[in-house]
Structure 1
Amino acid sequence: MFAPIRDGYWLFPGVTYKGNFADPFVLPVKEAGGTVYYAYATNTAQRNLPIMKSTDLKTWNVTSYTSNPGWADSKCLNNYDPLNDKSIPAEIRHYNYNVANKPPLYLPNQVEAWLNADGLVSPRPSWARWMPQTGPGALGWRTQETWAPSVAHFNNKYHAYMAVRAEGAEDRFCIALALSTNPAGPFRYVKGNSAVVCPKDFVNGVIDPEPFEYKGKWYLLWKSEYSPNKGQGLHAQQIDTATGRLKSGSHRIDLLQRDTSAGSWEKHAIENPSMATIGGKTYLFYAGGEFWPYGRTLSNYSTGYAVCPQGPTAPCSRPSGDNRILGSVGKVQGPGGGSAFQTADGSWKFAYHAYTRDGDPNTRQLRIANIYRWKAGQISISDGAKARFADVPAHHQFAQQISWLAGVGITTGNKSGNFVPSGYTSRSDMAAFLYRYAGSPKYTPKGASPFADVSESSKFYKEIRWMQSAGLATGNRNPSGGKNLYKPGDPISREAMAAFLYRLSGTKGYTPRGAQPFADVNRNSKFYREIRWMYDNGITTGYKVPSGKPLYNEKGNTKRDAFAAFLQRYDTKYPQRSPAPPLN
């Protein structure tokens, strides 16, 4: 009956979720029969406060106020009148809707009174800017703009905090508070409608509020927007649970400031703070980067985390290295706007939004991922199974190759659960990797070591001896004379890596043909033939540069993630191929 309306906007009672749901926040609520998960989002589909619910975190349905959910399809006009249904908030029932393309047979106000499942029914605050919804299908209901809502239950009420566009600077937002006795609403602004957070010293105000309970006290997190001569940051302050507002006498805590250093993934923005205490340690999750692709294929928007030893009562710090745990990968682009929550079984989840690659970035869909805490305290987030390594998120350039390296038993990472992808591959590690790749052949070193710097006490002694006995390694000339040096602790150069793989393949007398593929490799290069063999067999592509031929960087160190890529590509060409077993 209402196909024209329902096809245009998905947010109607009983309809399964399929549309835009940005900046999601999920609140677990214990109800009769089990835990129900309520999800809230930035305004969409003509609603100030969109709300959905689920019992399995997979199927989400739009909430409803009506006491007769079958009315719209039953056509029982004589048996049910939504205007007299007291379960529908009075603000909705008494609103004078002005809707184009009115459905036949039904009065517009009856239809819209039933369809409008808006979680927020209050008129906009006196300080809010008038932001009417316009365009085809506009209901005329929404006249305010609300962002990134989040909800907490204390003092026997559900407290919804949200950013509302305010009067003043064009992009100024302040944080409002609305209350309800039900997680599905209706929510109404607190008496007086004054903003909870609206600092005068920030021209564009604040956004992305989220309440967080820490050691029996409630705190409100938020993000400060751009203001001249002020840095963007994430902040917290204690809440007075009697009023839901900031506690008198408490002070703002600056949790984290945006990293504006060259090359930082946060350089464009830092936002959407969310906290969780997992395994006795409190973490701050946040989004950053530039969400909109602006003509690019990929979005560089990401989600990272910081560690907060004192929760929201003191500044947090980023873990060393790349602290991103979600980034664009494959069809999932712009992952962010997220919040952490704990499920009924005690596991931790992360609700976030992302859009589909080559799709509409304005359609930011809800996704639920798993949060994992490693023994050493690192955090990783994965849509599926637990990541193999704490420091290799799914969006890492060589995540698939590193996972393959672990899956075939070549590496287990370090004791902290890290692979250290940006670290270099030492010559001793490389010997161990290739030995395992060759199937860990039975081998017992005999006689004296052929290398002056390798003894029986050396790490991976057997594997290095196997490399030499199999003809893969001859070592380096010893400037002091005597036996050659293997230099086990040195990083292996990219040119030497090419030589080792060439020898491992059993290839003999390869003759390169055609134009030089790399700008920095020519026939005078020490391992020119081996590098060309790598390129011609698809084992290396080199480094792209803004213009001209790529670079191979032959003298550069082989990073551990690059080693994984080299060996995985090698395996597709020479699967599990190894030299003839050496003689003992």
Structure 2
Amino acid sequence: MRTFPRSLVLAIAAVVLGMLLPTAALAASADVRGTSVIAPAVDNPAPIFTDTNGHVFENEIAWLASAGVTRGWEVSPGMYEFRPQAQILRGEMAAFLYRLSGSPNFDVPTTSPFIDVSTDFVFYREIAWLAEQGISAGWSTPAGAEFRPFLSTSRDVMARFLHRFQLSPAFDAGVSPFRDVTGSTVFATEILWLASEGISTGWNVGYGCYEYRPYQNVTRSEMAAFLYRMENGGTTPLVGNTCAPPPSPLVSDHVTSGAFCGQARLGWYGYTVTGVLMRCTQLPGETQPRWRQA
């Protein structure tokens, strides 16, 4: 049998191994929805997404890709979509956090901690890591713990995940800045921590009032923004309660100081174009009520 020099054998092996490794690496990181790959190879630059140009979170999404957390969906050779308005699933959330943490090595359990996540599930390693870190214990059921990887991630659960990802830092919660988050809200502490860090300040609904909307599901673009702010510094923190809604009833149109308002609106409130609160009142001797500063 013919023999070859050892140096030649090693060179051929290196070439073959170099051809196989990228394929194996990409297959191991396939996204659960479609043909996406989340973790880029070293020689695989971050993709430019075709569906995020001009998006409000375009920069945050680009950062997420450059950090190797997501590559979205490859819809044709070299063409990628991020699908910013798609809701992020719990399985994907585990993958995002695991890769944001640097894809750390750990003893992957041979038995799944969740009855609905098999050891050959595409994100088994990431979900097992999430459980090992105490970030998520899933749901306790008579049959055992469930992770529910295909369930969308709600905003309150997202707050819980990120707070635990940061090792549950202590802080002075104080008064809730959100009118829909109270002491009885399940993950109130975690939500208020997000606000105090400027990671999420919810929606400004007017009159100094904010809503967090804890049961609304998180989109992929919003998740990119939350992770970016957590890693790079958030927006202006939201602390304390500044909510001062106007008294009712309130007219929807702007009013003019001194103008007649009519008997039907006696006692009503309204705002001028400059934001001055007015009230429809009638003084003794007047035949018609007028708008006056409240």
- Per the normalisation by structure 1, the TM-score is 0.31
| Aligned-residue offset at 1:545 | 2.3
| Structure 2 equivalent of residue 318 of structure 1 | none
Residues 44-59 of structure 1: matches in 2 within 5 Å? none
| Aligned-residue offset at 1:476 | 1.1
- C-alpha contact 1:409 1:436 (8 A) present in aligned 2: yes
Measured in 2, the distance between the counterparts of 1:427 and 1:510 equals: 27
1:488 maps to amino acid: P
| Aligned-residue offset at 1:456 | 1.4
Is 1:440 the counterpart of 2:139? The answer is no
Q: Secondary structure at the match of 1:392?
A: coil
| Structure 1 equivalent of residue 198 of structure 2 | 538
Is 1:468 the counterpart of 2:128? The answer is no
| Aligned-residue offset at 1:388 | 1.6
| Structure 1 equivalent of residue 60 of structure 2 | 401
Count of aligned pairs? 185
| Structure 2 equivalent of residue 71 of structure 1 | none
Residues 319-334 of structure 1: matches in 2 within 5 Å? none
- 2:153 corresponds, among 492, 503, 512, to 492
Is 1:522 the counterpart of 2:177? The answer is no
Measured in 1, the distance between the counterparts of 2:208 and 2:137 equals: 36
* Structural RMSD (CA): 1.8
Residues 420-435 of structure 1: matches in 2 within 5 Å? 420-435=83-98
Measured in 2, the distance between the counterparts of 1:450 and 1:511 equals: 34
Q: Secondary structure at the match of 2:195?
A: helix
| Aligned-residue offset at 1:447 | 3.5
Measured in 2, the distance between the counterparts of 1:410 and 1:547 equals: 38
- C-alpha contact 2:130 2:136 (8 A) present in aligned 1: yes
| Structure 1 equivalent of residue 172 of structure 2 | 511
| Structure 1 equivalent of residue 231 of structure 2 | 571
Measured in 2, the distance between the counterparts of 1:464 and 1:507 equals: 19
- C-alpha contact 2:110 2:119 (8 A) present in aligned 1: no
- C-alpha contact 1:475 1:486 (8 A) present in aligned 2: yes
| Structure 2 equivalent of residue 239 of structure 1 | none
| Aligned-residue offset at 1:387 | 7.8
- 2:71 corresponds, among 408, 412, 415, to 412
Q: Secondary structure at the match of 2:203?
A: coil
- 1:458 corresponds, among 121, 140, 150, to 121
| Structure 2 equivalent of residue 554 of structure 1 | 214
- C-alpha contact 2:109 2:128 (8 A) present in aligned 1: no
Q: Deviations over 1:142-170 (max 9, x none)?
A: xxxxxxxxxxxxxxxxxxxxxxxxxxxxx
| Aligned-residue offset at 1:544 | 2.7
Q: Secondary structure at the match of 1:545?
A: strand
Structure 1: runs of 5+ lacking an equivalent:
1-385, 575-584
Measured in 2, the distance between the counterparts of 1:456 and 1:402 equals: 30
2:71 maps to amino acid: T
| Structure 2 equivalent of residue 267 of structure 1 | none
Measured in 2, the distance between the counterparts of 1:547 and 1:561 equals: 28
- C-alpha contact 1:431 1:467 (8 A) present in aligned 2: yes
Measured in 2, the distance between the counterparts of 1:409 and 1:447 equals: 27
1:510 maps to amino acid: F
2:228 maps to amino acid: Q
| Aligned-residue offset at 1:552 | 0.9
| Aligned-residue offset at 1:510 | 3.3
| Aligned-residue offset at 1:423 | 0.5
1:528 maps to amino acid: A
1:523 maps to amino acid: G
Measured in 2, the distance between the counterparts of 1:511 and 1:529 equals: 9
Structure 1's 471 and 573: CA in aligned 2 closer, same or farther, altered over 3 A?
farther
- C-alpha contact 2:91 2:149 (8 A) present in aligned 1: yes
Residues 93-112 of structure 1: matches in 2 within 5 Å? none
Runs of 4+ in 1 over 4 A off after TM superposition: none
Residues 95-494 of structure 1: matches in 2 within 5 Å? 388-393=48-53, 395-416=54-75, 417-478=80-141, 481-494=142-155
Measured in 2, the distance between the counterparts of 1:561 and 1:449 equals: 30
Residues 5-20 of structure 1: matches in 2 within 5 Å? none
| Aligned-residue offset at 1:573 | 4.3
2:57 maps to amino acid: F
- Point out which structure has higher relative CO (alpha carbons under 8 A, 6+ apart): 2
- C-alpha contact 1:511 1:529 (8 A) present in aligned 2: no
Q: Deviations over 1:172-220 (max 9, x none)?
A: xxxxxxxxxxxxxxxxxxxxxxxxxxxxxxxxxxxxxxxxxxxxxxxxx
1:497 maps to amino acid: M
| Aligned-residue offset at 1:512 | 0.2
| Structure 2 equivalent of residue 232 of structure 1 | none
Measured in 2, the distance between the counterparts of 1:399 and 1:569 equals: 14
| Structure 2 equivalent of residue 374 of structure 1 | none
2:149 maps to amino acid: P
Measured in 2, the distance between the counterparts of 1:558 and 1:545 equals: 19
Measured in 1, the distance between the counterparts of 2:198 and 2:215 equals: 20
| Aligned-residue offset at 1:483 | 1.3
